[in-house]
Copies of this chain bind each other. A is one copy, B any other.
Amino acid sequence: MRRSGRVRVTFEPQGKKVLVERGVTLLEAVVRAGLRIRSECGGFGKCGKCRVLVRNPRALGEVTESEKSLLSRDELEEGMRLACQARLLGDAEVYLPPESRIEGRKILEAGLGREVKLEPVVRKVHLLVPEPTHEDVRADYDRLLESLLGVLRASGIDLREPKVDQEFLKDLPKALRRAKWDVTVVVRDEEILCLEEGNTERENYGLAIDIGTSKIVIYLVDVEEGEVLGVRSVENPQLMFGEDIMSRLTFAMESEENRLLLQKILVEEINKEIRAISGGRGVNRDRIYEAVVVGNTAMHHLFLGIETRYLAISPYVPAVRGPVEARAKSLGLEINERGYVFTLPVVAGFVGADGVADLLATGIHVSDDVSLLLDIGTNTEVFLGNRDRILACSAASGPAFEGGHIKFGMKASSGAIERVSIDPKTLEVSYRTVDGGRPIGLCGSAVIDVVAEMLRCGLIDRHGRMREEIGSPRMRRKEGELEFVLAWRQEAGLDEDITITQKDIRELQLAKAAIYAAQQILMRRMGVSPGDISRVLVAGAFGSGINVENAVMIGLFPEEHRRKVQFVGNTAIVGAKMALVSRKAREEAMDLLTMIEYVELSLDPSFEEEFIGATELPHRDLERFPSVKEFLEKG
């Protein structure tokens, strides 16, 4: 047998071969071969997990004391060894039994068919740490760390040595001994967060949180499996300080107390939901180690307790663009007390982390095809592009599409009219409410329907003016203002008629004009026309309730996009969840930050012109909507 030089090790069933220096352990050979093997002690011959079957046992050094104690006589006779103990003396043929192998990481399928690698930033590692003896007087932290790095290395992960932090060290000696050196370590990036007794690897939870101006959505996620365990959706409690962002920013500007109050009630509400969602799923909140938070820039700043004054003042600069980390505890979030909040980056004052999450979830930035992505709300974020370039802007569309600033407007909840049609002959109105009950108001999709139908029936002209002269009992003047009755008091769940007013129609015109103009400006900046665009993704609570035909009729989307519109739901929360379970997704978010070109609409010389033209129905330039033109001219 050769006494020096290198030996060849063949691993089955993978059929991998590797050359290593004589004398190293089989574990080292496994790692060098790029294979992965179980370990819980990090190569200290203590856990007995790195079992391998050796075809030619004489290629290895003598059986060690620890092998004798961890393997049975029969196993030893079969040729079973511990990889961390057996030293290579000659060429060896080694079989890795299934129980010793680590399988490849699973793949998460996100909405819209995007696949991301499941690789959570928070990892849990079960360890059997060798106890101190007179012969092994390593410091507690050192022995823990060496085992940890060993286990990670055996499973194919090379971790940079984490920073030592006094908070973690304080009680480490006691914790290790109380657990009898059988612990699970929680690692986040390059920090050891905490230690738990025994094997708790299976309990690795996180939160994805989307803080919308009106609604907060929370996912409780098993980050190891990439699985959503529970969902909560709740009103943003800041609503009591104003419906829209600007009124909240104004409130926050009045005093630091106000600003911190907005943060406090937000966090309290989220905590309430965390308690409910974790309680409901029997999940210990101490085992939630991270919350990935998205939201528009104002919500992002308010949640993080960051000064918001300059978001409200021209030139509307955010305090920060990149991802922000904070201890959950410092924000008052009730998860593991060493846990973290991580926010996705924001693009600009009016394009927030929710927009970045939308992109992550839809993946328009990794496609060859050019897509449009609209997250419709009080501020509508519009993204246009593909893998080569992404343009982004924010249009101040107002709350009309969410039922705001509409006389009988409301959210798409119980009692809301969500679909409307008007008989062109009788001018009679048919409608459908969300739950089929008596109507008490109308939501955004119904407003679109009403305006489109009124245009079709000639109840309004292309300037949005109600034609009083048409002479319908539903068309009337109240306190000097024209309105059209959608539901009579008798059929309504209110003590009055439900109407749409001339002012409501104006609100809708302004809203759709802003969104249409934003799309036009971005297309022009990129040098593409509607025909070049392969998909128009519409995100947001808006949901699938909208009638695309009617949306085109009023000129919300270019006519060429009629068949390209896809409603993708709340992609912001999906993107947040992706970032929670995938390191790769976070890297992608960082890449997006340099990739996205923000377009400030108010600085674009043609925006005003576009906007004014788009206030007409469907547009001042009817040539842009040939089929609408045909219909109107025919009628």
Residue numbers of A with Cβ under 8 A of B are: 132-142, 163-167, 169-174, 177, 304-307, 309-310, 314-326, 330-331, 341, 346, 348-349, 598, 600, 603
Is the Cβ of B173 less than 8 Å from the Cβ of A309? yes
Q: How far is the CB of A593 from chain B (nearest CB, A)?
A: 10
Q: How far is the CB of A484 from chain B (nearest CB, A)?
A: 42
In the complex, what residue of chain B is closest to A348 when comparing beta carbons?
B137
Given A167-B326, A325-B164, A173:B319 Cβ within 8 A: yes
Pick the most buried of A165, A169, A316, A348: most chain B CB atoms within 10 A of its CB.
A169
In the complex, what residue of chain B is closest to A316 when comparing beta carbons?
B137
* Cross-chain contact of A320 among B140, B346, B349 (Cβ < 8 A): B140
Q: Please, could you name 28 A-B residue pairs with CB atoms under 8 Å apart, sorted by A?
A: A132-B315, A136-B315, A139-B317, A140-B318, A140-B319, A141-B320, A141-B321, A142-B320, A142-B321, A164-B322, A164-B323, A164-B324, A164-B325, A165-B324, A165-B325, A166-B304, A166-B324, A166-B325, A169-B306, A169-B319, A169-B324, A170-B305, A170-B307, A171-B307, A172-B306, A172-B319, A173-B306, A173-B307
A137 CA to B134 CA in the complex, in Å? 62
A139 CA to B320 CA in the complex, in Å? 5
Q: How far is the CB of A12 from chain B (nearest CB, A)?
A: 38
A341 CA to B165 CA in the complex, in Å? 11
Is the Cβ of B137 less than 8 Å from the Cβ of A315? yes
Is the Cβ of A317 less than 8 Å from the Cβ of B169? no
Specify which chain B residues have a CB less than 8 angstroms from the CB of A598 in the assembled complex: 137
Specify which chain B residues have a CB less than 8 angstroms from the CB of A317 in the assembled complex: 132, 137-140
A136 CA to B314 CA in the complex, in Å? 11
Given A132-B315, A330-B166, A322:B141 Cβ within 8 A: yes
A135 CA to B139 CA in the complex, in Å? 56
Is the Cβ of B325 less than 8 Å from the Cβ of A163? yes
10 other A-B residue contacts (CB within 8 Å) besides A140-B320, A141-B320, A142-B321? A134-B314, A138-B321, A139-B317, A140-B310, A163-B325, A165-B324, A166-B304, A166-B305, A166-B330, A172-B320
* Cross-chain contact of A306 among B142, B170, B304, B319 (Cβ < 8 A): B170
**Copies held by the complex:** 2
Q: How far is the CB of A534 from chain B (nearest CB, A)?
A: 30
In the complex, what residue of chain B is closest to A341 when comparing beta carbons?
B166
Is the Cβ of B134 less than 8 Å from the Cβ of A306? no
Given A134-B600, A173-B307, A319-B140, A167:B330 Cβ within 8 A: yes
Question: Which 9 A-B residue pairs are closest in the complex by CB-CB distance?
Answer: A166-B326, A141-B320, A173-B307, A139-B321, A139-B318, A132-B317, A140-B319, A173-B310, A173-B319
In the complex, what residue of chain B is closest to A172 when comparing beta carbons?
B319
Specify which chain B residues have a CB less than 8 angstroms from the CB of A141 in the assembled complex: 319-322
In the complex, what residue of chain B is closest to A598 when comparing beta carbons?
B137
Specify which chain B residues have a CB less than 8 angstroms from the CB of A320 in the assembled complex: 139-142, 164, 169, 172
Q: How far is the CB of A194 from chain B (nearest CB, A)?
A: 15
A165 CA to B171 CA in the complex, in Å? 25
Q: How far is the CB of A167 from chain B (nearest CB, A)?
A: 7
A166 CA to B310 CA in the complex, in Å? 17
A305 CA to B132 CA in the complex, in Å? 22
Specify which chain B residues have a CB less than 8 angstroms from the CB of A318 in the assembled complex: 139-140
* Cross-chain contact of A326 among B165, B304, B326, B331 (Cβ < 8 A): B165
Specify which chain B residues have a CB less than 8 angstroms from the CB of A135 in the assembled complex: 603
Pick the most buried of A166, A307, A325: most chain B CB atoms within 10 A of its CB.
A166
A310 CA to B143 CA in the complex, in Å? 14
Pick the most buried of A134, A319, A323: most chain B CB atoms within 10 A of its CB.
A319
Specify which chain B residues have a CB less than 8 angstroms from the CB of A310 in the assembled complex: 132, 140, 173, 177
A458 CA to B197 CA in the complex, in Å? 65
Is the Cβ of B139 less than 8 Å from the Cβ of A319? yes
In the complex, what residue of chain B is closest to A308 when comparing beta carbons?
B173
A304 CA to B331 CA in the complex, in Å? 25
